[in-house]
Amino acid sequence: MANYKAVANGNWSALATWQDDSTGSYVASTVLPGASDVVYFNNFTVQMDVDVTVLEIRNDSATGVTQGGAGVISTSRTVNADLYHRISLIAITATSPDVVNITGNMPGTAGPTYNVIGLSISGNCTVNYVGDVRSSTNNSAAIRAINVGAGATLNLTGDVYAGGVNAPVGNFNSSDGIRLDSNSTLNIVGNVYGGFQNAGNSGVRLIGTNQTISITGNLNGLGSTSISAPNPAVLLNSTAVFSITGNLTAGQNAPALYGPTATTEVQVFGNVQNASNGYMATIAPYVYLDAAVTQWEFRKSNLNTNTLYTPGVATGHPAEANVRTGTVYGPTNNLTGTCAVPPSGSVALGVPVDNTVGTAYVDATSLANALTGSLAAPLATSLFTEISGSSDPLAERMRNQSTVQTTGAQLAGLL
């Protein structure tokens, strides 16, 4: 491992741009920076004209190194390095259809000045970033991790963290994880966190209009001691196309979504949880909960949890298929049973049904038992009545037929 520092404005690929301390002190480099090396811009501007793989890229100060300097990417490029931005570190001016791929974490810094940007995208190219990004580590300055300029696209796989500068709410000098200009596109696969001081430090801040944002991950407001200075995970603006596949969780006085005057319509595919002190997870006019949302956790006046569930969620109520057809039930009478229960007279004798047993004689055994048991006499009486009283031709003939009983009666009369 060696430390490299730029000693002139120039191309990354030029040996004349670099000195390194592989010999114990800085001397002219004989090889370009490699995968285990740390690179300092040393207050010079370096054109990143080749793909780069190093351990770290920095513009803070160190022994023999002056703070400052930046890298410039003007075409499709691949960079593998952790990025440490004491002041603005890398400017991407590439334009569509150029694609810049960056892999590495941006741990954040305590920068000395305002409007420091780790990665500034001013061209309308596409940037694919893999790694976690953080704007700042304390409250000494307003620092952004990434600024996405008009027309640019950023696809980020990793978590995004805001910083903690004390500044007026909505002030341009806030520490935001990612800031989006008009007509830009942001796709995040990862979680987004708000700031940690008493100002509007946002994980993602929308500046201007007509952005397109998709976040697959959770939004978390970390907290603030001031209601008038929230630190949201996402600060909305007037117009954008915005969807979130993940949960929204508020911190103390810090919402996941904040934009009380925004006209952005936010589609949420996840559950919502207000803070333990009752602070709302979303403070925005247009938030639409998808069918995937099953609950929203509020607080009662005593701050006990009060969870609202969508219909169909298992909350102790039986499933609709297990409740008698037409029975309306549920916490707000929003469920209707669909289980059809036949009457006992339609169920075989003795078979359990509802809260009784069936009474119908629908099988051979029960019918035979009935004919030789309790039904025998009523059945005989019914048949006799039918035969003796009916005007049916067959009944008429049977009334005049000789039987054992009538013949016996006739013989007895002759004796």
Domain boundaries, the chain: 3-314, 315-340, 345-414
Residue range 333-343: average pLDDT?
Answer: 86
The CA angle 71-206-280, to the nearest 5 degrees, is 130
Asked whether the predicted pLDDT for residue 3 surpasses 50, the reply is yes
Residue 169's pLDDT band (boundaries 50, 70, 90)?
Answer: very low
Instruction: Give the count of beta carbons closer than 10 Å to the beta carbon of residue 411.
Output: 9
Q: At 213, is the pLDDT very low, low, confident or very high (cuts 50, 70, 90)?
A: very high
pLDDT of res. 53: 98
Among 12-16, 27-31, 351-355, the range scoring the smallest mean pLDDT is 351-355
Choose between 401 and 129: higher pLDDT: 129
Strand partners, 77: 100
In this prediction, residues 339-365 reach a mean pLDDT of 83
C-beta atoms surrounding 196 within 10 Å:
21
Per-residue model confidence as pLDDT tens digits over 382-400: 555 554 555 556 555 655 6
Tell whether the model's pLDDT for residue 75 goes beyond 50.
yes
Q: How confident is the model at residue 168 (pLDDT cuts 50, 70, 90)?
A: very low
Residue 63's pLDDT is what?
Answer: 95
More confident call, 102 vs 341? 102
Mean pLDDT (the chain) is: 83
pLDDT (0 to 100) of residue 284: 85
Closest to 199 in 3D by CA, of 169, 236, 232, 162: 169
Residue type (1 letter), 300: K
Judge whether 249 and 256 are in contact, CB under 8 Å: yes
Q: Look at residue 393 in the predicted model and tell me its pLDDT.
A: 61
Tens-digit pLDDT profile for residues 244-279: 999 999 888 888 898 888 888 888 888 888 888 888
SS (H, E, C) the chain: CCEEEECCCEECCCHHHEEECCCCCCEECCCCCCCCCEEECCCCEEECCCCEEEEEEECCCECCECCCCEEEECCCEEEEEEEECCCCCEEECCCCCCEEEEECCECCECCCCCCEEEEEECCCCEEEEECCEECECCCCCCEEEEEECCCCEEEEECCEECCCCCCCCCCCCCCCCEEECCCCEEEEECCEECCCCCCCCCCEEECCCCEEEEEECCEECCECCCCCCCCCCEECCCCEEEEEECCEECEECECCEECCCCCCEEEECCCEECCCCCCCCEECCCEEECCCCCEEEEECCCCCEEEEECCCCCCCCCCHHHCECCCEECCCCCEECCECCCCHHHCECCCEECCEECCECCCHHHHHHHHHCCCHHHHHHHHHHHHHHCCCHHHHHHHCCCCHHHHHHHHHHHC
Q: How confident is the model over 356-364, as a mean pLDDT?
A: 77
Residue 167 has pLDDT above 60, yes or no: no
Give mean pLDDT, residues 208-228: 82
Higher pLDDT, 400 or 148: 148
The answer to whether 279 touches 252, Cβ cutoff 8 Å, is yes
* Listed range (147-161, 210-224, 399-413) with the worst mean pLDDT: 399-413
Side by side, the strands of the sheet bearing 282-283 are: 10-11, 45-47, 70-73, 90-92, 116-121, 143-148, 178-180, 204-206, 234-235, 257-258, 282-283
Instruction: Assess whether pLDDT exceeds 70 at residue 227.
Output: no
Give me the pLDDT at residue 388, please. Answer: 54
* pTM beyond 0.95, yes or no: no
What pLDDT is attached to residue 295?
Answer: 72
Query: pLDDT tens digits, residue range 109-144?
Result: 766 666 688 999 999 999 999 999 998 776 555 678
Q: Would you say residue 339 has pLDDT above 50?
A: yes
pLDDT in the model for residue 296 = 76
Highest mean pLDDT among 175-184, 228-237, 283-292, 379-388: 175-184
The percent of residues above 90 in pLDDT, for the chain, comes to 42
Task: Say if residue 324's pLDDT is above 70.
Answer: yes
Selected residue with higher pLDDT from 305 and 40: 40
Evaluate whether 234 touches 203 at the Cβ level (below 8 Å): yes
User: How far out from the chain centre does Cα 225 lie?
Assistant: 27
pLDDT > 80? residue 160: yes
Residue carrying the six token digits 């051979």 = 364
